[in-house]
Structure 1
Amino acid sequence: MWGSLALALAICVFLERICRSGLKLWHMRKLEAALRGQGLKGPPPIFLAGNVVEILFRREAVRNKGMDGISHDIVAHVSPDVAAWSKLYGKPYLVRWLSEPRVVVFDPDSIREILSKQFDKFEKSEQQLEFVLDFIGAGLVGLNGNKWSHHRSVLSPAFHTERLKAMLSSMTKCTEKLVEKWSRRVGQAEGLETEVEVQQDLKRLAADVISHTSFGSNYEKGERVFQGLTLLGVLLVRCFHNSWLPFFRYLPTKLNFQIWKLRREIDGTLLSLIRERRIAAAKLGERSSHPYGSDLLGLILEEGETGGKSVKFPEQAIVDECKTFYLAGHETSSSLLAWALLLLATHPDWQEKARAEVQQHFPNGVDDGETLSKLKVVGMIILETLRLYPAAGEMNRASTHDTVLSNGIKLPRGTGITIPILSLQHDPELWGPDANEFRPERFANGTTKACKHPNAFLGFSFGPRVCIGQGLAVMEAKVVLAMLLQNFSFRLSPNYRHNPTVQIVIQSFTGIQLLVQKI
């Protein structure tokens, strides 16, 4: 009897979801027709899959081929679909991501409306949130509306400049281990240059930094979280290739079982860390100004539980925020550092300028957070690296209201929006004829004056949803680059093959091989 009832309930749920999906598909077709009625053109979609299959096929084809020589004109290589379709169909153009119609927007004024002026009318789309929730849960990246506002207000104090400076010691200690490792390798080469695959070493360094700055003395457990999230990302990408199949993510497949098990293990590790901190804080009571600790987890717990907010964070919310900052802090930082070293290796004049600046302000090692702000040349190099090689090649939103953009396009409620960050930051009409060249001096007066439009740089986005970890990322990049430049010089290895591609973030598909020499 109970088995029959369970089967009947399962069938009802399945039919209800089929009906809901059918209604959603019909609504999306109406949206697409309204957009095409305004003259928007785009590639012909495939039923259910939309243009996703062609996008993935185009990107895989160029990734397997690689680039001929070293050029920073990488839009057609990293985003071949954007490069080809914007020429064929114009700017903006229309694509379908699975069932969702998306307008690919290139106009900086329209982008400013989406991210700033009318940001409350544009949120993460349902399809985008599904992937984020599967990966890192309902942290800042996976929230919309009032929930996002609450999390943002609770977490912001943890990223104030003064609190970040307390993490300087952890950053320098982690970087010292990398300096020692590379010094041993150079020493084995008897003082000559030695080839180092810096991308993997910098990934490990970024994981070490975020483990220490996030979890303090419990960084070993933090490293287990990092390893789990790395594997989870690989599994979810495999799952994504089947996302055009209805309900694939809910089916009892071997891949899904692996994902579910790994997610439970990651959450369990983080929950144990949180509960350990709460027990320790209860013992300290009011005897400490920071009973939960001064690392990132401690600051999140302090703000989430004692920050005077009307709604405190439940355990799962803190777990999801930890995963969010762990992934963002690791992937984006390692990508930025690896590309920065590549650019310095191929531009020895800027490498010498940066080294001279570091030696001037830090003759005895990087030991003062206040002085980091004086590294102007290093700061310009970081921004130019983020322009040429941003961590994210694109950003997606969905309209929550019927909206009209400054370019006259009417966006019905539910329309997807894609902002092609990489294409925007390489656009000669915005950045000049040298848009694909490494010229850090363009940022001498900040990001808003670096090109023809004040909002064409999206390295950290802008508006109310600007990256909350921007200060932490820049601080880490300055510390690591300063310490590496104090100890080593870099040249490009003849074994390096330029092949930037999207693997969660934009990174080199075949690694970055540099010749490293001790100074």
Structure 2
Amino acid sequence: MAIVAFELLYVLGGLAILWLVWRALEWGWLRPRRLGRAMRAQGLRGTAFRFPSGDLAEETRLLAAQRAKPLPQSSAHDITARVQPLVHKAINEHGKISMIWQGPTPGVILSDPKLVREVLANKVDYRKHELPSNFVKLIGKGLLTHEGEKWAVHRKIINPAFHLEKLKKMVPAFTNSTIELMDKWEDLIGSDANAKEIDVWPEFQDLTGDAISRAAFGSNLSE
């Protein structure tokens, strides 16, 4: 009897291992291959899937290459290639509608404003990725996590705040905050531009807070 029970456990353990292997193979190899073929059949071009991490290694390599060289002053405002080199490369090689791989999951790049608007306005056909529960607890539930009708209601509530005419009225507040920051930097540096370095990261954090304070509450951050 004990031998039969042991053999049964052995068989069940082997089946469980086979099931786990199949699930891993389906998740990391078979499903990405099917998705890639299906998306290419619809005319979508992009990078080929690399097992098991997709384009992660390539993105790491491109980021390291970009950060190893200084940003040219002539292209100080054109930072896409530096911040998102993989996306920049995919758009240049495969077009404004292209595909990259985030692990075994394909990601579709849309850089056409009309298509982006269609996706953002369609609450049924385009669903968000499910966020980790710990991340949801950190940021709280809101427009970023809601779906369907609940998302539509929240979007309708906040939409008036982003009308163009209201945003135009905020420009003077943003301008004043920026001018005051530049005056502060000029006072710190003095006449010799090479005499002092400024850590701009906390300065920009304060600039954001000051702009929000002026636009939303009518007073600067220090007040």
Identify the TM-score tier after normalising by the shorter chain.
0.5 to 0.7
Question: Are 1:133 and 2:132 counterparts?
Answer: no
Counterpart mapping for 1:357-436 below 5 A: none
| Same amino acid, percent of matched pairs | 21
Structure 2: how far apart are the matches of 1:122 and 1:132?
23
User: Structure 2 counterpart of 1:112, which letter?
Assistant: R
Cα deviation, residue 142, structure 1 = 5.3
> CA distance change for structure 1 residues 44 and 23 in 2, over 3 Å: closer, same or farther?
closer
Specify the alignment match of 1:86 in structure 2: 91
Question: Are 1:96 and 2:98 counterparts?
Answer: no
Question: Are 1:475 and 2:218 counterparts?
Answer: no
Q: Does structure 2 retain, via aligned residues, the 8 Å contact 1:186–1:192?
A: no
Q: Does structure 1 retain, via aligned residues, the 8 Å contact 2:123–2:148?
A: no
Question: Are 1:199 and 2:198 counterparts?
Answer: no
Question: Are 1:74 and 2:79 counterparts?
Answer: yes
Q: Does structure 2 retain, via aligned residues, the 8 Å contact 1:132–1:142?
A: no
Counterpart mapping for 1:167-246 below 5 A: 186=187, 196-203=198-205, 205=206
Structure 1: how far apart are the matches of 2:63 and 2:218?
32
Specify the alignment match of 2:39 in structure 1: 35
Cα deviation, residue 99, structure 1 = 0.8
SS of 1:65's partner is coil
Question: Are 1:50 and 2:51 counterparts?
Answer: no
Q: Does structure 2 retain, via aligned residues, the 8 Å contact 1:123–1:144?
A: no
Counterpart mapping for 1:451-490 below 5 A: 475=215, 480=220
> CA RMSD, aligned part only?
4.7
User: Structure 2 counterpart of 1:136, which letter?
Assistant: L
Q: Does structure 1 retain, via aligned residues, the 8 Å contact 2:52–2:103?
A: yes
Cα deviation, residue 480, structure 1 = 5.0
SS of 2:132's partner is helix
Structure 2 unmatched runs, 5+: 1-14, 162-176
Q: Does structure 1 retain, via aligned residues, the 8 Å contact 2:213–2:220?
A: no
> CA distance change for structure 1 residues 91 and 190 in 2, over 3 Å: closer, same or farther?
closer
Structure 1: how far apart are the matches of 2:104 and 2:132?
14
Q: Does structure 1 retain, via aligned residues, the 8 Å contact 2:143–2:154?
A: no
| Number of residue pairs the alignment of both structures matches | 184
> CA distance change for structure 1 residues 83 and 476 in 2, over 3 Å: closer, same or farther?
same
Cα deviation, residue 64, structure 1 = 2.8
Counterpart mapping for 1:241-320 below 5 A: none
Structure 1: how far apart are the matches of 2:133 and 2:73?
35
Specify the alignment match of 1:121 in structure 2: 125
Q: Deviations over 1:258-307 (max 9, x none)?
A: xxxxxxxxxxxxxxxxxxxxxxxxxxxxxxxxxxxxxxxxxxxxxxxxxx
Q: Does structure 2 retain, via aligned residues, the 8 Å contact 1:133–1:142?
A: no
Cα deviation, residue 33, structure 1 = 0.9
Specify the alignment match of 2:145 in structure 1: 143
> CA distance change for structure 1 residues 33 and 192 in 2, over 3 Å: closer, same or farther?
closer
Q: Does structure 2 retain, via aligned residues, the 8 Å contact 1:40–1:93?
A: yes
Q: Deviations over 1:468-492 (max 9, x none)?
A: xxxx5882698559x9xxxxxxxxx
Q: TM-score, normalised by structure 2?
A: 0.59
**Who wins on radius of gyration, i.e. which is larger?**
2
Specify the alignment match of 1:64 in structure 2: 68
User: Structure 2 counterpart of 1:79, which letter?
Assistant: Q
Specify the alignment match of 1:112 in structure 2: 117
SS of 1:121's partner is coil
> CA distance change for structure 1 residues 17 and 479 in 2, over 3 Å: closer, same or farther?
farther
Structure 2: how far apart are the matches of 1:14 and 1:475?
59
> CA distance change for structure 1 residues 44 and 190 in 2, over 3 Å: closer, same or farther?
closer
User: Structure 1 counterpart of 2:215, which letter?
Assistant: M
SS of 1:123's partner is coil
Q: TM-score, normalised by structure 1?
A: 0.29
Q: Does structure 1 retain, via aligned residues, the 8 Å contact 2:32–2:49?
A: no
> CA distance change for structure 1 residues 477 and 94 in 2, over 3 Å: closer, same or farther?
farther
Q: Does structure 2 retain, via aligned residues, the 8 Å contact 1:42–1:94?
A: yes
Q: Deviations over 1:103-140 (max 9, x none)?
A: 21222221121011x233222213xx239727825522
Cα deviation, residue 65, structure 1 = 1.5
